[in-house]
Structure 1
Amino acid sequence: MGDKGYDSDALVQTIEARGMEAVIPPRSNRTELRKVDWFVYKERHLIECFFNKIKHYRRIFSRYEKTARNDIGMLRFVSALIWLR
């Protein structure tokens, strides 16, 4: 999955040669449009926005927590705060 900036024939062929499906919307100047699963692309956008919201919490992006257990706990707490908005 990627933005329009990743739309190139070479990249799409490499992805499809590995047996995967490219979910990259075509650029506006492309002559041959290909199918895009817009539902999956919208899901990608939601995840990207979620990571952007997490970055607003300084304790998460600065990694104040020393142990993995505390770091995951804080990430779960922030995720719940974002979900409850």
Structure 2
Amino acid sequence: MSDHKGARLVLEALPSGSTLIADRGYDSNWFREALAEKGIEPCIPPTRNRKTPIAYDKALYSQRHKVENMFAKLKDLRRIATRYDRCADTFFSAICIAATMIFWL
């Protein structure tokens, strides 16, 4: 299943923002149109098999790796990777502490 099919489920829950940075899995015409209706500019590279490539901000898209690297570092921590906490608030607190620790180290 491609990513844009799952995006249909969370499209209404998207917070307001000016730009959405996503990978090629979210490249579909209906998803781009839905984002435009919400006033969100998509920064999504076109799939390789798209007949007419759509322009996107390559400099902005290159910043996406910082978010990906942060998730990779968070998953290195055993408590977060295995989700030991029973309560969502406690789990979120552990993520905040870990993110702060990673930021300062």
Tell whether the structures are fold-level matches, with TM greater than 0.5: yes
Larger Rg belongs to: 1
Q: 1:80 to 1:18 in 2, by over 3 A?
A: closer
SS at match of 1:22: strand
Q: Which runs of 5+ in 1 are unaligned?
A: none
One-letter code aligned to 1:3: D
One-letter code aligned to 1:29: N
Equivalences, count? 83
Aligned-pair identity (%): 31
Give the strand-richer structure, 1 or 2.
2
Counterpart position of 2:52: 32
Q: Which runs of 5+ in 2 are unaligned?
A: 1-20
1:46 pairs with 2:66: yes
User: How far off its partner does 1:81 sit?
Assistant: 5.0
- For 2:37 and 2:85, locate their aligned partners in 1 and report how far apart those are by CA, in whole Å: 42
Q: 1:76 to 1:15 in 2, by over 3 A?
A: closer
SS at match of 1:25: coil
One-letter code aligned to 1:14: A
Q: Deviations over 1:22-80 (max 9, x none)?
A: 111001111211221122222222102211111110123324497x58x64x5455345
Alignment RMSD, CA only?
2.6
- For 1:60 and 1:27, locate their aligned partners in 2 and report how far apart those are by CA, in whole Å: 33
- The TM-score, its normalising length taken from structure 1, stands at 0.71
